Amino acid sequence: MGAVYLATDLQTGRQVALKLLSLQREFSPEDLAEVRQRFLRESRAASSLHHPDILEVLESGEAGSDAWIVMELVQGQDLSAYTRSGQLLPVSQVLKITARVARALAYAHRQGVVHRDIKPANVLVDPVHDSVKLSDFGIARIADGSRTRTGLVLGTPSFMSPEQLAGLRVDGRSDLYSLGVLLFQLLTGQLPHQAESMARLMNAIANEPAADVRRLRPQLPESLAMVVALALEKRPELRYANGDQFADDLDAVARQWVEAMPELDLDLAAQQPPGAQTLHAPAQNVDAFAQTQALDARDPRHNP
């Protein structure tokens, strides 16, 4: 939703990211006033978040029929490119990134702010500076309960929790479900639920258990499969209560992985193409997230 531009703050000379949201074009006239009020409320809430792993919102406002948000400018790229088989990150990096996002969410939830649209495109990583940034807080909430001109409620259905898809009230545990979907995809290159239509996808998310990640990557430890399964529980009360718990379990699995699977790490390193690097040791002018492993799995379908 919206386009992002490189801009310069004329008062400070600082380079920033400017996101423009064309509310009048996106939403029906009868919803526009409510959407504008919601935008101002949500952007204020987002600007109150100050966490090293959350993209900082510096300022927001309206200009004619458009709304705008000024954000800190960060280097790197989002995780979208690393969610397909053959382009996956090392498991240790996936666990570290996911744990950092979980702790960022724990902080936001303590401030009473729910993200509502956790997905690869909203997690920015910079291997040079070991940076992880969660972006777009409140953007999905702007459209909550309103219809776009095309008749669709904004959001990313494949990553939505059962309660969010059902239009029920959501809290931080919905974000943790979405983070569980992201973790599943980063580990396997596939989504936990796939369907040919929106109706079938919604039914699958609401009623069908997600596959065990070990069916797609048998070498993953049982402890990690249990973490993913807990995050993807259908009922919110059965999931992690908060992001700190989620992150603690991911950290524990990461320690076990390094201690118990050094030979597997070596095998993965041997499969890297020339120039491939990990998050902690990027080489100059080399993509630190280059292909690390090819899985014998069919390509995932695109998110509906």
Catalytic positions are 117
Residue 138 CA to residue 45 CA, distance in Å, equals: 8
Q: What angle do CA 246, 247, 248 make, to 5 degrees?
A: 95
Q: What is the pairing mode between strands 66-72 and 77-78? A: unpaired
Q: The sheet that has 123-126: what strands, in order across it?
A: 77-78, 123-126, 131-134
What are residue 103's DSSP bridge partners?
Answer: none
Residue 183 CA to residue 106 CA, distance in Å, equals: 16
Cβ distance 185 to 191 under 8 Å?
yes
Kindly state the DSSP code that residue 292 receives in the 8-state scheme: -
The helix/strand/coil state of 295 is coil
Q: Which amino acid is at 168?
A: L
Q: The sheet that has 15-22: what strands, in order across it?
A: 3-8, 15-22, 66-72, 57-63
3-class DSSP string for 186-239: HHHCCCCCCCCCHHHHHHHHHHCCCCCHHHCCCCCCHHHHHHHHHHCCCCHHHC
